[in-house]
Each structure stands twice: as C-alpha cells, then as structure tokens.
Amino acid sequence: MKDLSLEAIRLAGTRILLLMNCALAAALGATWLWLGRDGGVGYAFGVAVALCLYPTTIVAGGRTDAEARLALSVTSVAMPSLLLFAARDMAWQTDVHMIFFAALAMTAILCDWKALVAAAALVAVHHLVIGMLLPAWVFDGESELLPVPRTPR
C-alpha cells in the first residue's frame, strides 16, 4: 500500500516541481536555439539552469521542509517569467502567460499555503512592477495597470 502521509505527498510534489522546472528550462533553451534569438535569451537560459540547481539539491536530499517548499514554489513561478522574456515581441507572448497559472496551480501539490502565497506574490510583483517598468517583457504594447484590451462601445 502506498504511503499517503503529508510528508510523502510533499516529497512527490518536490520531484514533480523539479521536473517541471527542468522542462521549462529546457523549453527556454530550445526557444533560444530554435529561434536564434539574441538580446539576452542566452543569459535567461543560463539563469533558468542556475535556478534548477538548488531545487535539484533539495530533491536529491529528500528535503520537504519549509525552506525547500518555498524555494521550489518560487522557482516554479520564476521560470515562466524567463520564458516570457524570451517570447517578447512574438505573437504567442500573451499565450505564455498561461504557464504562470499552471505553475502556480502546481505549487499546491506541496500542501503549504505559505509557499503558495509566496509564489502568488511573486507572480503579482512580476506583473505589476515589470509590467509597468518594462512592458515589452510582459505584454506586447503599452504600459497600463490593466493591460486587457477594452472593446469600444
């Protein structure tokens, strides 16, 4: 019979989030190679690989403590921001935002409301601060507090 303890669920969650983070880093690398983009995408790939290092040590050590859960949740929502940076000025830039929702939802597997709130706060700060200061990195177009296009009446 499988162990359904909170510790076992969190351990499985750390492994799943690490796989997701590595997959997103690989997607960023593939985007960089496939599109031949310059302007920092190679550096973003390097950051993505570096962001996978600490979670890898967490999973390898079998850790599920609060620090480990926080690190994995924050890394999980930082990866989509790097992909969003790589997708700037592309038609599918807005679609990349869906990865934020999926990554944020996946952090719930850690069964830690503090880690989930920290990840959600990082997403909010990313969209508010970077969206206002460097709008081309977040949304195609102008800097607005509410970037959703309005239909004329």
pLDDT per residue as tens digits for the range 4-58: 899 999 999 999 999 999 999 998 888 888 777 666 788 889 999 999 999 999 9
The domain spans of the chain are 6-138
Please determine, for residue 151, whether its predicted confidence score (pLDDT) is greater than 70: no
User: H/E element holding 141?
Assistant: none
How many other β-carbons are positioned within 10 Å of the β-carbon of residue 115?
24
79-105 burial code (b ≥16 CB/10 A, e <16): bbbbbbbbbbeeeebeebbebbeebbe
CA distances from 68 to 54, 62, 111, 119, 130 (A): 9, 10, 12, 13, 26
pLDDT per residue as tens digits for the range 68-119: 999 999 999 999 988 888 887 777 777 888 898 999 999 999 999 999 999 9
What is the residue whose two structure tokens read 């880093």? 25
Quote the CA–CA distance of 37 and 35 in Å, as a whole number.
5
Going through the chain in order, the beta strands assigned E by DSSP cover: none
DSSP 4: -
Global pTM reads 0.81
